[in-house]
Chain A
Amino acid sequence: MNDNTNAQRLVDIAEIKRIARLARLDISETDAERFSSDVNGILNYIRKLQELDTETISPLSHVHGSHNVFRRDEQEDYDKREKILLNVPERSGNFIKVPLIIDQESN
C-alpha cells in the first residue's frame, strides 16, 4: 500500500518476522510485507501519545483502582471432565497427545 512519506519506518520486515516468532505466528513473505506496512501506519498514528507530558501521571491498569480479590483455595468437585476432553484435538484416554517436547538425545 502507500508508504506514508513523512512517516517513520518503525518496524521493518525483519522486525515483523522477529515479533511474529515471539507470538508463535509463522507468516509468509507477502504477509510480512503487508503487516509491516500496516503496523508502521498504526505505530505512526500511536506516536501521537508522545505529545503528552505524562511524567507525573500514574498508569491505569484497572478502572476502579486495582485490588486483590481473595478467596479460600478449596477443592471442588467437577463433573464435566469428559466434555472438556472432547475438545482436545488429539487424545489418548484421559491424556492430551502432543509432539515430543524434550528431544531424546539431550535426555
Chain B
Amino acid sequence: MTESQQPTLTDTIERLSRKKISSVELTHGYLQAIRDHSELGAFISVDEDKALEAAALADKAGPPDENQPLRGIPIAVKDLFVTASGTTTCASQFLKGYESPFTATSVQKLYDAGAFCIGKTNLDEFAMGSSNENSSFGPVKNPWDTTRVPGGSSGGSAAAVAAQLAPVALGTDTGGSIRQPAAMCGISGLKPTYGRISRYGMIAFASSLDQAGPMAVSAKDCALVARIMAGADRLDATSVDKPITRWEEPIPNVFEGLRIGVPKQYLIDGVDPEVLSAVDQAISQLEKLGATRVEISLPHTEFAVACYYVIAAAEASSNLARFDGIRFGARAQEISTLTELYERSRTEGFGSEVKRRILLGTYVLSSGYYDAYYLKAQKVRTLIQRDFQDAFEHECDLIACPTAPTTAFPLGEKTADPLQMYLADVFTIPGSLAGIPVLSVPCGFDGNHLPVGIQLIGQAWDEHRLLSVAQRYQEETTWHLQAPPLLSHGGKA
C-alpha cells in the first residue's frame, strides 16, 4: 500500500458497530503500532495486558450503542490526568511511580461511555513547554518529520493520533497545549470553554486557564469525545452546568449569515508566509460554504504573551507548592531538617523549565512586586477578554487565524531561549486568557510538507457552532485525512 489515509474515530466506531473488527483486534493493532513507533517517544507508559483485558470485556458487552457510544475504543491519555490504574507522572522525576487513588472525572466519563486507556502520553513536564522537549522521559518526535518537535505540551497525544497509535487522545490546554501540537502534527484539537469540562484529576498548572480537551483526526471525532467529557462536576467548583447537545451532528445551515472575523493583529512579522497563505485559503473555502469574511481588530493582542506569562507562572508557583516530598512523590535522602527536605526534594525533582517558572511566579507574587506585575496582568487580561467580547458583540460570529506562527520547528532550535519558545504560543494564548472555546484543524502544508493548522475561536459556550463549521469544512477538504509519510512505507497501513 503506497498511501494511507487517517482513519477517523467515527469510522472506527462504525466498524466496531458493524462487527467488521473487534475491540481486541483493534487494540492489538494499536499496541503493535506503539511498539513499531516507539522511537517517537509518544508514550510514557503502556499496560498491554490491561488494555487487552478491557477490550475483551467490551467485545463481550457488544458493539457501541447509545448508552456506550465509545464501547471498545482505546484512548491515549496525557500523563497529566490521574488514573487509578497505572502511574501518573506529569513527565516529572518528582512523580515517577506515582499511583493515584482515583481517576480524573473527564477520563472516568469516557470510561463510563465504554472507552478504556491504552497508555499515558508524554508531555512537557507539568505541561510547561511548547515543544515537548521539557519531558524528563525524553522528547517526543513529530511523525511528519522526526527531526522536528511535535509541539507541546500535549506533544505525545498529538504524535500518537498522527501516527495512528490511538484513535483519539486527551490533552490539556493552558496557553495552547492542545491546539499548537494538534496544528504541528496535522490533527484536530479542541480547547473547550473554561468550565466546560471538569478539571478534577488534572494535575494543576494554572488553575484559571487549564482546560481538558480531545485530540483526534477530525472535528467530528473531537465533538463526540468532548461532549461526553463535558458537564458540571461537584468535585470542580469552576465547572459550569450548561446544556450540552450532540455536537457531532452539525447545526443545519450553520453558514447562513455567518460572519468570520479575521484579526488584523495576527498578520504580524515573524509569521511564516506559507502559514498565512494556507489559512487564507481555508477562510476562502469557508466563504464558498456561505460565510462572510470581515476584518476585525483585537487591539490588545500584542500584550497577551506578557500577560499570560505573569498569570500562568504565578498560579504555577502556587500550585506546585504541594510538591514537597512529604505525602507523595520523590523525597530527597540524607537530609536532617524539614526545610532541607523541602528544598532538596524540590530541587532534585523539578526540571529547569519548571524551576524557571516557579522562580518567575514567586517573584511576581512577592511583596513589593505584586501590583506591578500580577495585578497589572490581571487588568490586562480584562482588556484582552473585552477585545473578544467587543468583536463578538459587534463584528463577527467566530474568529479565524493561524494556530501557530510557524510549522513544526527542529528539535533543539528554541531550547536555549525561553522567550523565543514562549512566543510560539502567541496565537493560542489570547483565547486561553479569555476562557473561550477554540478549535484547531489542519488546513494545508508548507513547502516541507509539514502541516498547518487554522484556529476557529468562538464565544463562550459556543462549541457546537465551532465544531459544526469545522465539520462542514472537513466534508469539503481532506487535509485532516492525510497521513504522515512515516506510515506509507512498512508501517501498519
Using CB atoms and an 8 Å cutoff, list the residues of chain A in contact with chain B: 1, 11, 16, 19-20, 22-27, 31, 35, 38-39, 41-43, 45-46, 48-52, 54, 57-64, 69, 71, 80, 83-84, 86-90, 96, 98-101
Contacts and interface: CB of A to CB of B under 8 A. Distances in A.
Contact of A54 (B327, B360, B380): B380
B356 to A, nearest CB: 6
Contacts of B434: 63
A69 B98 contact: no
Interface residues of B, number: 72
A84 B98 CA distance: 10
A17 to B, nearest CB: 10
B103 to A, nearest CB: 11
Contacts of A64: 194-195, 240, 435, 460
A50 B372 CA distance: 8
Contacts of B337: 99-100
Determine chain A's interface SS by DSSP, over half rule. loop
B306 A45 contact: yes
Contacts, number: 159
A87 B363 contact: no
Interface stretch (B48-56, B244-252, B253-261, B328-336): B328-336
A100 to B, nearest CB: 8
Interface stretch (B29-37, B343-351, B397-405): B343-351
B359 A23 contact: yes
Given A64-B240, A98-B338, A41 B306 contact: no
A60 B306 contact: no
A87 B328 contact: yes
Given A11-B363, A35-B355, A23 B317 contact: yes
Contacts of B324: 24
Given A57-B379, A80-B101, A99-B341, A63 B385 contact: yes
Contacts of B344: 26
B237 interface: yes
Shortest 3 CB-CB contacts between residues of A and residues of B: A63-B435, A59-B378, A89-B331
B310 A49 contact: yes
Given A26-B344, A41-B418, A101 B359 contact: no
A100 B336 CA distance: 8
A22 B359 CA distance: 9
A71 B312 CA distance: 28
A12 to B, nearest CB: 12
